[in-house]
């Protein structure tokens, strides 16, 4: 095993000393924070936009044109001009669009057209639909002898405070969206790191094979030990980068908490602090997360998922001569990861205890993504143990399979390898 340690050290040190690794490790959390901050800024700017679109409006019913004077981002100008005249106005740029209401019976609007040189986006289209709907809704209320103000007075604002009850009888504030968001963030990190560093293992093996460097290496070390050294060495690189990211993100979080200030909520039911709204409330729910449990499970599935996929990706790198030949093998290997990520996006914000969520969190090829999302919620221990045991056993099986493929394909040149050929290599004697 001394050879494994030597290879592991080489793979680790050769990568963590690179300037690109140091720069991205330091800038990673900052760039992510800036990215999401920019998205929020752009979204707020768009929502606060005061730009209005001048739109011509022709109303066959005669009941809408003179009253449709309020729609966010639009200013309407009633017209009775012909279609040709309207088209010329749009082409000249005099107006941004033309809303043509062909229906004479406003009880059913199913012949409404919007013509423009640049069509509105889905959000702008919904604004028009809501404006028309509100106008006709108010007419129907008036016919029934009711007013919108009266209906609004019947509405009772409801705000449900969610409290999680512990086995010791204690209660803590909890927001399901915060839990789901945190779980999904961890799943996204694992998804990205498995792809990024698993492919790094494959390319490292493939490059050494194409450059014939591997012929020198296997003269002094067993191919299986070479594969393990590469996998675990790059795993330490990924773990190092992740630990630094966590430390930097924790510092940013502490700084953010100091700027915002933790909420001083009054007592709620049975002495539980009331959940405040806005960002302070989110911070309060965030601090109530089971970090020890989530952190331990994240570390296990982070390493387990990487080792599972990296072992097979290393075998793929050894089986091919050129990187372009890896595509036929990469697709079926990465499909479970992509499927797990799609499922995780539903699990995080929908139903973490559904049958689909439970089984995909147990199946080893999807559990590294799905189970970390569910870890933010209350997962039965038998499901956790079954999932972790299945992942561990599958990893050991994949290492054995990958070792067989790796040993045979490492020194094989000039031959196109198929899935059938890989299957045959599994039965070659040592």
Is residue 192 situated within a structural domain?
A: yes
Q: Domain range for residue 73? A: 53-138
Could you tell me if residue 42 is inside a domain?
no
**Co-location of 285 and 375 in the same domain:** yes
Coil vs helix vs strand at 54: strand
Structure tokens at 311: 């072992």
d(CA 349, CA 346): 6
Same domain, 119 and 228: no
Buried b (16+ CB within 10 A) or exposed e, 300-309: bbbbbbbbbb
- The answer to whether residues 249 and 385 belong to one domain is yes
If asked whether residues 206 and 320 sit together in one domain, one would say: yes
Of the candidates 386, 415, 173, 201, the residue with the CA atom closest to the CA atom of residue 311: 201
Look at residue 3 and tell me if it is in a domain. no
86-117 core/surface letters (b: 16 or more CB in 10 A; e: else): beebbeeeebbbbbbbebeebeebeeeeeeee
Instruction: For the sheet with 74-78, list strands across it.
Output: 74-78, 53-59, 97-101, 112-115
Same domain, 209 and 346: yes
Total domains in the chain come to 2
The domain that contains 131 carries what CATH number?
3.40.190.10
CA distance 89 to 16: 63
212 — phi, psi (to 5°)? 65, 15
28 lies in a domain? no
Q: Report yes or no on 210 lying in a domain.
A: yes
Considering the domain architecture, whether residues 314 and 391 belong to the same structural domain is answered as: yes
Give the pLDDT of the chain (430 residues) as one tens digit per residue.
Answer: 677 788 788 788 888 888 877 887 777 777 766 765 665 566 555 544 455 778 888 888 777 777 676 566 678 888 888 888 888 888 888 888 888 888 777 666 667 888 888 776 677 778 778 877 877 777 777 777 777 677 677 666 665 555 555 555 544 445 566 677 777 888 888 888 888 888 888 888 877 777 767 667 766 777 778 788 888 888 888 888 888 877 777 676 666 555 544 444 444 444 444 444 455 555 656 666 667 888 888 889 998 999 888 888 888 887 777 766 677 778 888 888 889 888 888 775 677 778 888 899 999 999 999 998 888 777 888 999 999 999 999 988 888 888 777 777 776 666 677 777 777 777 776 5
Residue 132 within a domain: yes
Residues 211 and 76 grouped into a single domain: no
**Which domain-ending residue is among 112, 138, 164?**
138
Q: Which of 138, 154, 186 is the last residue of a domain?
A: 138
Same structural domain for residues 129 and 211? no
Query: Tokens at residue 48, please?
Result: 């606060």
Same domain for 104 and 236, yes or no, is no
158, part of any domain: no
- Residue whose pair of structure tokens reads 């089984």 in the numeric block: 359
């Amino acid at each position: 095993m001394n050879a494994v340690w030597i290879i592991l050290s080489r793979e680790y040190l050769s990568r963590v000393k690179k300037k690109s690794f140091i720069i991205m490790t330091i800038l990673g959390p900052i760039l992510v924070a800036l990215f999401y901050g920019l998205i929020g800024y752009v979204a707020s700017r768009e929502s606060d936009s005061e730009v209005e679109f001048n739109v011509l409006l022709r109303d066959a019913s005669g009941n809408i044109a003179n009253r449709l004077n309020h729609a966010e981002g639009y200013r309407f100008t009633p017209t009775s001009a012909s279609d040709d005249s309207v088209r010329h106005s749009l082409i000249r740029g005099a107006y941004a669009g033309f809303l043509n209401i062909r229906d004479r019976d406003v009880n059913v609007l199913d012949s409404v057209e919007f013509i423009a040189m640049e069509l509105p986006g889905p959000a702008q289209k919904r604004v028009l639909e809501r404006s028309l709907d509100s106008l006709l809704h108010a007419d129907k209320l008036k016919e029934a002898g009711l007013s919108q103000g009266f209906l609004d007075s019947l509405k009772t604002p409801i705000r449900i405070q969610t409290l999680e009850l512990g086995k010791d009888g204690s209660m803590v504030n909890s927001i399901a969206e915060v839990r789901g968001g945190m779980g999904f963030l961890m799943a996204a990190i694992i998804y990205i790191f498995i792809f990024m560093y698993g492919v790094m293992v494959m390319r490292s093996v493939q490059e050494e094979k194409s450059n014939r460097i591997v012929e020198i290496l296997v003269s002094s070390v067993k191919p299986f030990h070479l594969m393990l050294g590469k996998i675990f060495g790059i795993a330490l690189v990924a773990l190092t980068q992740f630990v630094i990211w966590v430390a930097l993100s924790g510092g940013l979080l502490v700084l953010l908490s100091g700027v915002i200030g933790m909420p001083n909520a009054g007592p709620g039911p049975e002495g539980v602090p009331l959940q405040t709204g806005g960002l302070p409330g989110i911070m309060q729910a965030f601090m109530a997360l089971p970090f020890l449990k989530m952190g331990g499970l994240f570390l296990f599935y982070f390493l387990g998922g990487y080792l599972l996929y990296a072992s097979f990706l290393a075998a793929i790198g050894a089986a091919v001569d050129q990187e372009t030949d890896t595509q036929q093998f990469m697709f079926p290997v990465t499909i479970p990861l992509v499927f797990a990520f799609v499922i995780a996006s539903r699990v995080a914000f929908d139903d973490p205890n559904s049958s689909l969520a439970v089984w995909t969190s147990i199946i080893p090829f999807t559990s590294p993504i799905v189970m970390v999302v569910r870890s933010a919620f209350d997962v039965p221990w038998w499901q956790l143990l079954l999932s972790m045991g299945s992942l561990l056993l599958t990893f050991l099986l994949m290492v054995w399979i990958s070792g067989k493929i790796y040993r045979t394909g490492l020194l094989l040149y000039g031959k196109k390898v198929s899935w059938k050929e890989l299957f045959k290599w599994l039965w070659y004697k040592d």
